[in-house]
Amino acid sequence: MTDPTLRLPNQTFRAVLSLGDGIGTLPPLPRGLGRPELDADIDDETGIVSLFVHFASGQLHLDVSDDGVEHHFHAANGDDIDGSPFRRDQTPALLEWAQQFARRALPVVPDLLADAEEAAEWHAAGLKVFARETGPVPLEIIEVELEGELMLLPWLGSGTVEHEHIDGDHHPIELVWDPAGLEPSIRIARAWLDPRTDAPRAVAEPGVDWNAVGMPATEVVQWLEGVYVNHHLIAHPAHVIMQAALERLAGLD
């Protein structure tokens, strides 16, 4: 297993963002639902903003445009369902909150998605504050704690490798390799999230010529576990910044 003590420290990062004119109070969320996890995306062709509101007991998804707000529900595990997974006394209040959150989010999410990605690039460059040039508009300071990554060596074997998601339970990935430094296509190891420990596990594939790979199978497995932590367990800075900004819009922080 990769040594979890060899990692960069967590860092506080601030992003100065334009969140529109609507920052203020929203109707309270129904008691008993807890704090949701928020996310957003946009369809570049239609301009429809999608908002994702995930609670421990279920999910609410919103599609927002100038024409209005459409919604649908999912079970807690993401499965499609008919009707609401929440209690009958909770659902109307949740939808009232969601309508106002959606109206706030629609005009700002497109720029906010781009700003979060750019802020993550500033963080990667070693900066502690992001602020893009803007006119005299209301601005909000979003402060987040970004988790430090494991300190990993680059690939030290021969050829080139890539890691990518594959189908299967527990979020598996595969490590593919090419001996000539071309587009990797030979699977040499795979990793997944152990549901019992919430830690990554990795195994080497059988029949691999490890002398040709240039690293022992045990070292490749340890390296892949570290890659899994950095790229699939630690939240990407852009996602953390975006989620914090959505929580400000939603009146949750």
> Which pLDDT value is given to residue 99?
94
Q: 175: which strand partners?
A: 163, 189
How do 173-178 and 186-194 pair as beta strands? antiparallel
Rounded to a whole number, what is the distance in angstroms from the first to the last CA of the chain? 37
> Which pLDDT value is given to residue 22?
62
**Can you state the angle between helices 91-105 and 237-249, rounded to 10 degrees?**
110
Answer positive or negative: Cα dihedral of 224, 225, 228, 229: negative
Total number of residues shown for the chain: 253
Enumerate the H helices of 58-108 as residue ranges. Answer: 91-105
> Which pLDDT value is given to residue 53?
97
Q: 79: which strand partners?
A: none
**Can you state the angle between helices 109-124 and 237-249, rounded to 10 degrees?**
140
How far apart, in whole angstroms, are the C-alpha atoms of residue 89 and residue 29? 12
Helix (H) or strand (E) holding 247: helix 237-249
Q: Show the low-confidence residues of the chain (pLDDT under 50).
A: 1
Pick from 247, 243, 251: nearest CA to 119: 243
Whether the pTM exceeds 0.85: the reply is no
**Residue type present at position 233:** L
> Which pLDDT value is given to residue 5?
59
Burial track 184-209 (b if 16+ CB lie within 10 A, e otherwise): bebebbbbbbeeeeeebbbebeeebe
> Which pLDDT value is given to residue 1?
44
pLDDT tens figures, 41-86: 999 999 999 999 999 999 999 999 999 999 999 999 899 999 999 9
Dihedral over alpha carbons 61, 62, 63, 65 (to 10 degrees) = -170
